[in-house]
Amino acid sequence: MTDVIERPNAHGSDDERDAVDGEPAARSPRTWTRTDTPTPASAPELRRSTATIRSIDVIRLIGSALAAVALTSWLFFYALPLEGELGFVLVSYGFFLLFFGILTAFDENRPTVRDRLASVVMHSLAFLLLLALFSVVVYTTLRGLEPLGIPTFFPNFYLEDMSNAGPLDGLDRGGVAHAIVGTLIMITIALILTVPLGILTAVFLTEYPGRFSRFVRTVVEAMTALPSIVAGLFVYAIIVQFGLTRSGFAAACAITVMMLPIVVRSADVVLRLVPSSLKEAARALGASTWRTVWTVTIPTARSGLTTAVILGTARGIGETSPVLLTAGATTFFNFNPFSGPMTSLPLTTFTFIKSPELNFIARGFGTAVVLMALVVILFVIARAIGGRGPGQLSARQQRARTQASRIDDYRFRARELGITPPQAVSPFERLKRLIPMPARRRVTPHD
C-alpha cells in the first residue's frame, strides 16, 4: 500500500531528468508515473518441480525393455506361430511392464512399485497419442508433397482451377486455386456476419445480466451442441424450400450458424475475465456503460477476443459437412458468392479422394496440406496475439503506457506552473523518436 502514497518524483530517475532539463521540479500530488512492472499480490504461486531421475530407475527401464524385446523376438521367431508388427509391439510392451514391475519390486516397497509403473504407463499413453497425432500430420503431408510441387515444382497447383484437367491428366495440370478463393470468400462472409454479432452478443451477456441474457446464454450454449451437418441441412432445407440454388453465400450462412455460438461463447468467457475493478474504476470516473465497454472492457480483452475469433475461424475453415450440403462442388473459379456453386478446400479434398484416380487422390492430399497450413497459420497468429490474459501488457505496451502517462504528468505540471504546455506529438515525430539518434538525447516531450 505504501507505493500508492509515495510520490513519483521521489524516484531518482525523474529528479535526475528534471535537473538535466533545468525544469523546476513540480510536485504534483495528482499524478504518479509507474516505472516498474508491478506484480499483483494475488499472482499464483509457482509450482516447484519435484521431479527426480534416479540412475537405478533408468537402468531398470533399459534392462526390462531389452529383456522384453528379446523374449518377444524369441517367441515370435522360434517358439510360437505369431506374426504381425502391431502384435509384436503390444506383446513386448506387456512383457516390458511385467519385467519393470518385477525388477522394481526386488528393491522397493509396494507404493513405489505402483508409482513407477503408473509413471511408465502415463508416459507411454501420452507418447502414443502424440505419436498418432504426429503421424496424422506427417502422413498427410508426405502424401501431399507431390502435387504441392516437391520435388519437381509446378506452380499450377496454386494458380489454376480444375476445369482444364481431365481425369487422366498428370499433376502438372490443374490446381486448387478455385478452392482457395472459395474458402476465402466463404470465411470472409461468415466473419462479416459472425464477428460484430458475436462480440455484441457477448458484450450484452456480460454487461446486461438479467433474465433475458440468461436465456440468450442458454440458447447459445445449446446451439454449440448442434452437429455441423445439421446446420448444413437447415440451410439446405431453406434452399430447397424457396427454390434457391446452392451458392457460396449459402455455405457461408451454414458456417455462420455453426461458428456463431462458438464465438459468442468463447468471447463471453474472455469478457467475463476482465477484472471488475477496472470496469468499476471507469464507472467511478463517470463513464457511461458504453464508454466503459468501448474504452475499458473491449481493449482489455482485445487479445482474448481476437483469439476467440481466430480459433472460431479455424473451425469454420476446416468444416466439410455444412459446405458439402450447401455449396455444391465445382471445378472452376467462381468469384460471385451469390450465384452458382462454389467450392472450398475441405470440400475439394473430399471430392478428390472419392475419385478412384491416383492423381486425384494425390491432389486430395495436397489440398488437405494447404488446408492444414492455413489452419496452422491462423492458430499461430492466435497464439501470438492471445498468449496474455486480459490487462497483461507486453514490455512494449508497458513502455508506451508509461510514456503516455509521463506526457500527461508533464502537461499537468506545466499547467500548474503556468508555462506553455508541450505540443501534441505527431505520429511522424513519435516514429522519429523511436529511431536511435547518433547524438545521445533524452526522449522527453519537451524536445
Partner 1 sequence: MEPRTDRIVIDGVSDGPRTLSSVVDRPDAVFRWIARSGGTIVVTVMTLVGLFLLIRGFEAIQFAGPAFVIEQAWDPNSGKFGIAAVFLGTVFIALTAIFFALPLSFGTALYISEYAPQRLKPFLITTVDLMAAIPSIVYGLWGFFFLSPLILPLSQWLATYIGPWFPPFAVAGFDPNDPLATPTIFSASTFIAGIVVALMVAPITSSIMREVFQQAPLGEREGALALGATKWGMITSVVIPYGRGGIIGGTMLGLGRSLGETIAVFLIISPVFVIQPQILEKGGNSISALIALRYNEASAFEISALMAAGLALFIVTLIINFGASTIVARSRSGSVGD
Restricting to residues 280-319, name those near partner 1 by CB under 8 A: 288-290, 293, 311, 314-315, 317-319
- Judged by beta carbon, residue 153 or residue 215, the one nearer partner 1 is 215
Q: Do 113 and 104 contact (CB within 8 A), yes or no? A: yes
Stretch that binds partner 1, among 26-34, 170-178, 212-220, 410-418 (CB under 8 A): 212-220
Stretch that binds partner 1, among 159-167, 253-261, 333-341, 424-432 (CB under 8 A): 253-261
Q: Which of 147, 174, 182, 198 forms a contact with partner 1 (CB under 8 A)?
A: 198
CB of 442 to partner 1, least distance (A): 36
Q: Does the protein bind partner 1 through residue 207 (CB under 8 A)?
A: yes
- Judged by beta carbon, residue 131 or residue 159, the one nearer partner 1 is 131
Q: Is the peptide bond before 167 cis (omega within 30 degrees of 0)?
A: no
Give me the count of residues in the chain. 447
- Contacts of partner 1 in 1-60 (CB under 8 A): 1, 45, 47-51
Nearest to 317 by CA among 337, 344, 343: 344
CB of 106 to partner 1, least distance (A): 17
- Judged by beta carbon, residue 185 or residue 239, the one nearer partner 1 is 239
CB of 393 to partner 1, least distance (A): 19
- Judged by beta carbon, residue 67 or residue 369, the one nearer partner 1 is 369
Q: Does the protein bind partner 1 through residue 269 (CB under 8 A)?
A: no
Q: Do 372 and 138 contact (CB within 8 A), yes or no? A: no
Q: Do 226 and 260 contact (CB within 8 A), yes or no? A: no
Residues whose CB falls within 8 Å of the CB of residue 361, separated by 6 or more in sequence, listed in order: 352, 353, 355
- Contacts of partner 1 in 78-97 (CB under 8 A): 84, 86-87
CB of 129 to partner 1, least distance (A): 4
Q: Do 15 and 25 contact (CB within 8 A), yes or no? A: yes
Q: Do 408 and 343 contact (CB within 8 A), yes or no? A: no
Size of the site for partner 1 (CB under 8 A): 102
CB of 201 to partner 1, least distance (A): 5
Q: What CA dihedral angle connects 279, 193, 222 and 345, to 10 degrees?
A: -120
Q: Over 297-316, what HEC string results? A: HHHHCHHHHHHHHHHHHHHH
Ramachandran category for residue 45: left, alpha or beta (phi over 0 → left; psi -120 to 50 → alpha): beta
Q: Which three cell numbers stand for residue 47?
A: 509450482
**Sign of the four-CA dihedral 64, 65, 69, 75:** positive
- Contacts of partner 1 in 338-377 (CB under 8 A): 346, 349-350, 353, 361, 364-365, 368, 371-372, 375-376
Q: Which of 35, 37, 163, 277 forms a contact with partner 1 (CB under 8 A)?
A: 277
Site of grid cell 495436397 = 366
- Contacts of partner 1 in 125-154 (CB under 8 A): 125-126, 128-130, 132-133, 135-137, 139-140, 143
Q: Does the protein bind partner 1 through residue 445 (CB under 8 A)?
A: no
Q: Do 176 and 162 contact (CB within 8 A), yes or no? A: yes
Q: Which three cell numbers stand for residue 393?
A: 501488457
Q: Which of 7, 27, 30, 114 forms a contact with partner 1 (CB under 8 A)?
A: 114
